Amino acid sequence: MQRFIEHTLIIPLLLILVMVSVFLLSGCGDSSAGVSGGTQVQMAERVNAETSPAQTQTPEGQPAITPPAATDAQSLVANAKPAAAASERSQYIVNVKVETVTPAPLRDVLVLPGETEALSDVSLASERAGVVEWVGVTEGQTVRAGQQIIRINLNALEAVRDRAKANLTLAEDQLRRRRDLYERKVLSREELEQAETERTVAQATLREAEVNYSHGITTSTTNGVVNKVYVDPGEYIAEGATVADIVNVDTLRVNFNVPEADVRFLSEGSKAVVRLDTYPGREWEGTVDFVAWKADTATRTFRVRLVVNNRDGAIRPGMIARGAFVRRSVADALTAPLFSVLDKGGERVVFVERNGVAEARTVELGVIDGDRVEVRKGLDAGDRLIVVGHTEVEDGTKVNVR
């Protein structure tokens, strides 16, 4: 029994010894490889130690200090990039179009919105109450000053006028007879003077009757066009009631509100160009006939009025117009298209072509006229200004003028 137990324990021990031997043999192989790898690492570290200062160890979580040699290499690479880019640009050829810079007149123009109004806009009123007997015009009809517009029933006024005429005729006859009697010494001086007074009264009465009669007829006080008629035949109107509106559109006014900074450039007699969106491409010349001396308290602007010839009646009162006022002029200005001026870091820059190369010029701008701008500094007459392709070039870029 004892021997059986010994045999049972020996077998597992032998197996354990075999496994340990195998493990030790594997470890020796790895150690050899490790020694070889370690030797290579140590050699690499020695080479690095000989070619560069030792790298400072830093605590975990803190950035390591870059060796000077690595920093120098990075700087060389960083400096090489712009140089390479510049070299690449110098080899890149851009197709461009140019225009020759030449002196030309330039105007500083102020454009403002305005509103048209009739030179005269009259509302005609009846001077007497009564029933409208006749209306002599229609809306849109052209009338002259003094032309009859409406007439009320004048029967009663006509009777008063006729009686006044008869009384005057009688007074004149009596005066004539009494004058004859006075010359024959039959009539006294007092009786003659009484006859003269009666004639004078009759004359005044007739004038009053005629005035009252004329007040029953409303006439136009101006040349123009009938814009609106307010009454119809048979309608009773009160004294002072509006019967028609007459507007004179042969000459129009255009009112503008001019800012305080610009009113000093305008004066009576100044010329301006008037345009209306209703008539694209058409222009009217206007003359300033009034510049307000006092600013509007709400807008702080000054009212400026133009007079425009409108004989063809194309412009109607109440339309929105745009007025172009010349503030100042430059006789021989060097100009460039507005789109050719670029913003480079807050500076205004243009490009000119010289010997097949784009050259950047910093410019100083002045008066703007439409789509062109005055260049006060930075350009010379004869320069070849790049106007197409200017956004694709830099200073020194090779260009091909098409």
Q: Are residues 285 and 384 in the same domain?
A: no
234 and 133 assigned to the same domain? yes
Q: Mark whether 258 and 314 lie in a shared domain.
A: yes
For residue 303, is it within any domain? yes
What are the pLDDT digits (tens) for 200-216? Answer: 999 999 998 888 888 88
Q: What is the CB neighbour count within 10 angstroms for residue 389?
A: 20
Number of domains, the chain: 3
- pLDDT at residue number 212: 83
What average pLDDT does the segment 147-151 reach? Answer: 95
Domain boundary among 242, 267, 295: 242
Instruction: Report pLDDT digits (tens) over 304-362.
Output: 999 999 999 899 999 999 999 998 888 899 999 999 999 998 899 999 999 999 999 99
At 346-357, the pLDDT tens digits run 899 999 999 999
Distance (Å, rounded) from C-alpha 313 to C-alpha 66? 86
Angle at 333 between CA 331 and CA 336, to 5 degrees: 145
Q: Answer whether residue 63 shows pLDDT above 50.
A: no
Residue 351 pairs with which residues in a beta bridge?
360
Contacts of 19 (CB under 8 A, 6+ apart): none
Are 313 and 353 contained in the same domain? no
- pLDDT, residue 324, reads 94
For residue 64, what are its two tokens? 């390591």
User: How confident is the prediction for the chain on average, in pLDDT?
Assistant: 83
Per-residue model confidence (pLDDT) at position 202: 93
Residue with tokens 């039959």: 186
- pLDDT at site 33: 39
In this structure, the answer to whether residues 182 and 196 fall within a common structural domain is yes
Q: How many H helices and E strands in the chain? A: 4, 20
Instruction: Please report, for residues 18, 250, 253, 287, 297, the alpha-carbon distance to residue 290 in angstroms, rounded to integers and kept in the order given.
Output: 123, 19, 10, 9, 18
Which residues 6+ apart lie within 8 Å of 295 measured at CB? Answer: 260, 301, 302
pLDDT value of residue 164:
93
- Distance from C-alpha of 297 to C-alpha of 371, rounded to nearest angstrom: 34
Task: Read off the amino acid at residue 242.
Answer: T
- Residue 73 resides in a domain: no
For 91-109, how does the pLDDT look when each residue is reduced to its tens digit (9 = 90+)?
689 999 999 999 999 888 8
Tokens standing for residue 108? 């500083």
Query: Pairing mode, if any, of strands 148-152 and 130-135?
Result: antiparallel
CATH number, domain at 166?
Answer: 1.10.287.470
Contact in structure between 125 and 227 (CB atoms under 8 Å): no
Q: What does the pLDDT read at residue 264?
A: 92
Domain membership flag for residue 308: yes
**Which of 242, 270, 292 represents a domain boundary (last residue)?**
242
**358-384: b (≥16 Cβ within 10 Å) or e:** bbbbebebbbebeebbbbeebbeeebb
Beta strands in 233-390 (DSSP E): 236-237, 242-259, 271-275, 284-291, 301-309, 320-337, 342-344, 347-354, 357-362, 364-369, 372-377, 384-388
What's the whole-model pTM score? Answer: 0.56
Q: Both 161 and 218 in a single domain?
A: yes
Answer for the pair 112, 325: CB distance below 8 angstroms, yes or no.
yes
CA 213/CA 145 separation, integer angstroms: 19
Per the structure, the complete domain to which residue 374 belongs is given by 93-106+331-401
**Does residue 5 belong to any structural domain of this protein?**
no
* Residue 78 within a domain: no
358-to-97, 290, 348 alpha-carbon distances in Å: 11, 52, 16
**Cα dihedral sign, 393-396-398-399:** positive
Q: 31 lies in a domain?
A: no
Residue 131 CB neighbours (<10 A): 11
Are 323 and 338 part of one and the same domain?
no
pLDDT tens, residue by residue, 71-80: 454 554 455 4
> When comparing pLDDT for 54 and 255, which is higher?
255
Identify the domain boundary among 180, 213, 242.
242
**Would you say residue 175 lies in a domain?**
yes
Task: Inform me whether the pLDDT recorded for 395 exceeds 80.
Answer: yes
262 in a structural domain: yes
CATH number of domain containing 360: 2.40.420.20
Let me know whether 159 and 235 are in one domain.
yes
272 neighbors 256 (Cβ within 8 angstroms): no
